[in-house]
A and B are shown apart, each in its own frame.
Chain A
Amino acid sequence: MSRSATGASFLPEFCGSRMAFVVVLLAQLLAIVLTLSTPGTRVSEFDRLALYSVMSLWIGLLCLGTLCLLRRHVEALPDHLAATACYATTLAVTLAVSEVAWQLTVGWFTLADSVGTNHAGFLLRCLGISAIAWALALRYFYVRQQWRRRVESEADARFAALQARIRPHFLFNCMNTIAGLTRQAPALAEQAVVDLSDLLRASLHSAGQPVTLAEEIALCRGYLRIEQHRLGERLKVDWQLPPGNLGQRLPALTLQPLLENAVYHGIELLPQGGTVTINCVVAPDGTTITLSNPVLAGEPGITQRHGHNMARENVAQRLAAFFGRDGLLKIHEQPGHYSIELLLPDENPDR
């Protein structure tokens, strides 16, 4: 899920000098730990450190190189398979290097003292150490990668929140409408300017600023008046509001972006237009607002636009932050019809 959202892979970048440096450092630390933990034998401490270093560096760097080459192929796998493949690779490389080391030390350099006499035992010891060291290292890389990804997606979300406030598409269309109205109907042009000013003012408020439902509805009416100039007969609006004063509090610009979605993704694409319905029901446990609109069903060439989800998620986040709980926004999608339901709980009145 988060892979597609951020475009970043589950696997860290294995190729590169930074990673090589980290692996060299870890391998060297491991060699030092091993040297410190074994009692002195006929082989001196420095010789042992040298041997351990050579061994751990070879294993570390060869593993890294193999992972670097493999990364492209493994990346396409599901996350758990990719992780398993990487781990298995490190173990295989360890085994291969250990075997080569055994052959070299026993056969060529006659350094049997430093490796012992048991071939299988030597391989198993190397494998065990490497298995633990790589498990820790891969875990560390994984955590670091996750952290980096989270930082990136948080920054994205913040940027999206800033951008979602007023859509450039709407702003420039609105300017065009005003330019068109100025000559033919100056009074309507004036009203459009005032409505637009209210919208801009609201969007310049800091996010999550509380307003009453009545205020938000007034803002939405202004927004829809502007769209009405543009779309004319194609846009019909049906307000189903309960009588009385709607004093519930909610974050500013909660309904408006959703209405904008209904117009931009629904009504605007329908040659005959349609009706946007805003239904509001006040119950003891909270107020439920349902926005529904017709959409184009199964038209070829219409792909779900990115902005749709962005505005919706933005609203969901702000509702969750404001009321301190999730799941206040529900979506019902049918072919040709879209509706979105908001619950404003009757709690937290002091916010």
Chain B
Amino acid sequence: MKILIVDDESLARTRLRELLRDSDGGHTVLEAENGIFALELAQRESPDVVLLDIRMPGMGGLEAAIHMARLPNPPAIIFTTAFDEHALQAFEASAVDYLLKPVRAERLAQALSRARMLRSAQVTELRRLQPDARQRTHLSIRSREGLLLVPVDEVAYLRADQKYVAAAWRQREVLVDESLKALEDEFAGLFLRIHRNALVAREHILGLERQRDGTMAVRLRAVAEAIPVSRRHLAEVRATLKGQ
């Protein structure tokens, strides 16, 4: 089996690697030290199983799992944690496999033998039960080159067109296959609704300006065009700008 070990502590990775070596299973072992590297590796190497630590800097395990479930060949995921009450409750409730650190050799073998894919229902359940994981740090974009990770705080605006949502990121637009409403709910603290079809990043707002036709628009940092504000949302936008 091809196994990816994800943990920010090198000792923890070494221990799992040694346990796997002792088991004589002839496993190929890969390692990553946080969720972002793990996703890159998972995309490139398509491991069968990912042993995923929950608490890691950069991107934690729960969020990495959410993105991994969207890969073309999603790996089976086994979470590892030393102690995390919320996570344990979430795992129990959503029937996800997990290992407690320090990991027992037998438990590891058992978990590997019945490793299975994370279903999307389980991912939703995990997010609901994990207060810290509800908000992702990245959006995953499906593209021809594979899964693209876009840091949420670099997105200037999100705009819904007929069928898709476009996110402005680094001078271009990428397509997100999630609804604007769901994105608004998840990132309420980061984005402000300015129009029925647009959310803008609060941090990116430079100011309001009047257009030639008399309507109002928001000027954003590093975005050439001004994004129109609908009359319904104007008061709220003004209040937010005043408060900042």
Contact = CB atoms under 8 A, between A and B. Distances in A.
A232 B11 CA distance: 9
B57 interface: yes
A44 interface: no
Interface in B76-121: 82-84, 100-103
B191 to A, nearest CB: 10
Contacts of B187: 300
Contact of B135 (A168, A177, A300): A300
B31 interface: no
A172 B9 contact: no
Interface residues of B, number: 32
A183 interface: yes
A193 B34 CA distance: 28
Contacts of B136: 300-301
B15 A176 contact: yes
Given A169-B84, A300-B152, A301-B132, A176 B101 contact: yes
Contacts of A177: 9, 11-12
12 contacts: A173-B9, A176-B11, A178-B102, A179-B102, A230-B11, A230-B12, A231-B9, A232-B9, A296-B57, A298-B153, A301-B63, A301-B135
B12 A180 contact: yes
Given A231-B9, A271-B57, A301-B132, A173 B82 contact: yes
A302 to B, nearest CB: 7
Interface of B: 8-12, 14-15, 18, 34, 55, 57-58, 63, 82-84, 100-103, 131-137, 152-153, 187, 189-190
Nearest to B135: A301
Interface in A113-166: none
Contacts of A296: 57
Nearest to A167: B83
Contacts of B100: 172
Among B8, B82, B133, find the residue whose CB has the most chain A CB atoms closer than 10 A.
B82
A245 interface: no
Given A169-B83, A301-B135, A270 B57 contact: yes
Given A180-B12, A230-B9, A299-B137, A168 B102 contact: no
Contacts of A300: 135-137, 152-153, 187, 189-190
A138 B14 CA distance: 65
A196 to B, nearest CB: 13
Nearest to A264: B55
A176 B63 contact: no
A299 B9 CA distance: 21
A204 interface: no
A198 interface: no
Among A229, A271, A303, find the residue whose CB has the most chain B CB atoms closer than 10 A.
A271
Nearest to B7: A176
A34 interface: no
A175 B83 CA distance: 11
List 5 tightest A-B contacts by C-beta distance, closest first: A172-B82, A180-B11, A180-B15, A301-B135, A179-B102
Among A179, A181, A229, find the residue whose CB has the most chain B CB atoms closer than 10 A.
A179
A299 B10 CA distance: 24
